[in-house]
Amino acid sequence: MTQDKAQGGQNMSVNPNSIEARDVAYHMHSYTNARAHQENGPVVIDRGEGAYVFDSTGKKYFEAMSGLWSAGLGFGEERLVKAASNQMAKLPYYHNFNSKSHGPAIDLAEKLISIAPVPMSKVFYTNSGSEANDTVMKLIWYRSNAMGTPEKKKIISRQRGYHGVTIASASLTGLPNNHRSFDLPIANVLHTGSPHHYRDAQDGETEEAFASRRAEELEQMILAEGPETIAAFIGEPVMGAGGVIVPPATYWEKIQAVLRKYDILLIADEVICGFGRTGQMFGSQTFGIEPDILVMSKQITSTYFPLSAFMMNERVFEPIADETNKIGVLGHGFTGGGHPVGAAIALETLAIIEERDLVARAQEMGAHMQSRLRGLSDHPLVGEVRGVGMIAAVELVLDKAAKTGGETPGALGVQANRRLEAKGVISRNMMDAMAFCPPLISAQADLDFMVDALAETLDEMQAAM
């Protein structure tokens, strides 16, 4: 057992029948070093209450990542449990194949269209953000064929962007570890530069000048590839898994001008940003984005049930509809797409967000969280603090001027993550950037506890060095 693991408060029992040992014996984990997991074992989360979770030893943690950027209403929201139970009793399952439908799917589609940040036409249901982006990619190709432009198939994503893990959506993702040894990305996927001013700006380059350069680079890529071959551009309003990267001033304005110039569709991946996270209902509203397709998941059900969806405008829908009429069917769909239980939970989630004014609360509590985190900017180990609303990152460095960490990239983040966990705060390090995405229901005291634990962690790390 390593020292760092022991600090986490979870000890793998020598008993081969312990829950930790059984996990190691039978369970392969996502985003985990399988060999390290065999040595160290898991932290087994047993229950949740509000913004907190408890492990199998009874240790309490503030869930500063809302699980996976997703449990906006926290854990144990009785209204969501009741919505699921009631729908289970009435209609536990049905599908939307062959013109079949059910009330919750219809109600949710209508609700989503009504709150869309720009005029939208139709909702298509999937089960995860990965599946949603995979389907979007397929439908864009389908649409290009329908329009008699079969060469218009390429999709431009961005370095450090995250759009999922299916073969297609992982190709859109711009993170190396999602491509290594998977033979990805596939053809027709391109990656332009990240909007991360701190990491990618030239010496003395202002945010606006950096945004202009990124827009110019995008245009040059389009021209080099041939505008007639580019179908769409996909981006998160705020990058999540790539490090909580907030776009610089004028970035989205300039990117959209390029896309309009060459008649390229814009896909807003709102899987993390949607439903209040940035202080508006959608991140597109926060940054003035006018997408043709808007992808949603995670907070749509507070992740009490797997459900995702995307909205498309008339410009996207009409050629697709014509092609289904020509062929006789849309040969695509999911058994659980638009699941009645998931849709019922999503409707109740949206009702709670509106009734409790959690979007405004995200602005208020988010401002407090951002202020407290920015108070750590002068710490010797902090290179940058960034974020908006209730999502933020603190990037750790050893050399502030050079913006560099340790010899092993991510080692600082791993150490900070383990120390935070020992103090009862679950965060997530993306290399050396510590991410914070607490539930929208978090109280100010919860956020202060989180930041105080981070400050103590940084001081301990500095002292140890």
Quick one: pLDDT at residue 6?
36
Quick one: pLDDT at residue 177?
97
> What is 79-355's CATH topology?
Aspartate Aminotransferase; domain 2 (3.40.640)
Quick one: pLDDT at residue 13?
52
Q: How would residue 14 be classed by pLDDT, with cut points 50, 70 and 90?
A: low
Q: Are 447 and 82 in contact (CB under 8 A)?
A: no
Quick one: pLDDT at residue 10?
46
Each residue of 194-240: pLDDT tens digit?
Answer: 999 999 999 999 999 999 999 999 999 999 999 999 999 999 999 99
Distance between CA atoms of residues 278 and 3, nearest Å: 37
Q: Which residues contact 49 (CB under 8 A, 6 or more apart)?
A: 74, 75, 76
Each residue of 115-163: pLDDT tens digit?
Answer: 999 999 999 999 999 999 999 999 999 999 999 999 999 999 999 999 9
Each residue of 315-342: pLDDT tens digit?
Answer: 999 999 999 999 999 999 999 999 999 9
Domains in the chain: boundaries: 43-76+357-464, 79-355
Nearest C-alpha neighbor of 77 from the set 54, 50, 53, 52: 50
Q: What is the CATH number of domain 43-76+357-464?
A: 3.90.1150.10
Q: What is the mean pLDDT of the chain?
A: 96
pLDDT above 90 (res 251): yes
Each residue of 398-430: pLDDT tens digit?
Answer: 999 999 999 999 999 999 999 999 999 999 999
Strand order in the sheet with 425-426: 45-49, 52-55, 60-63, 425-426
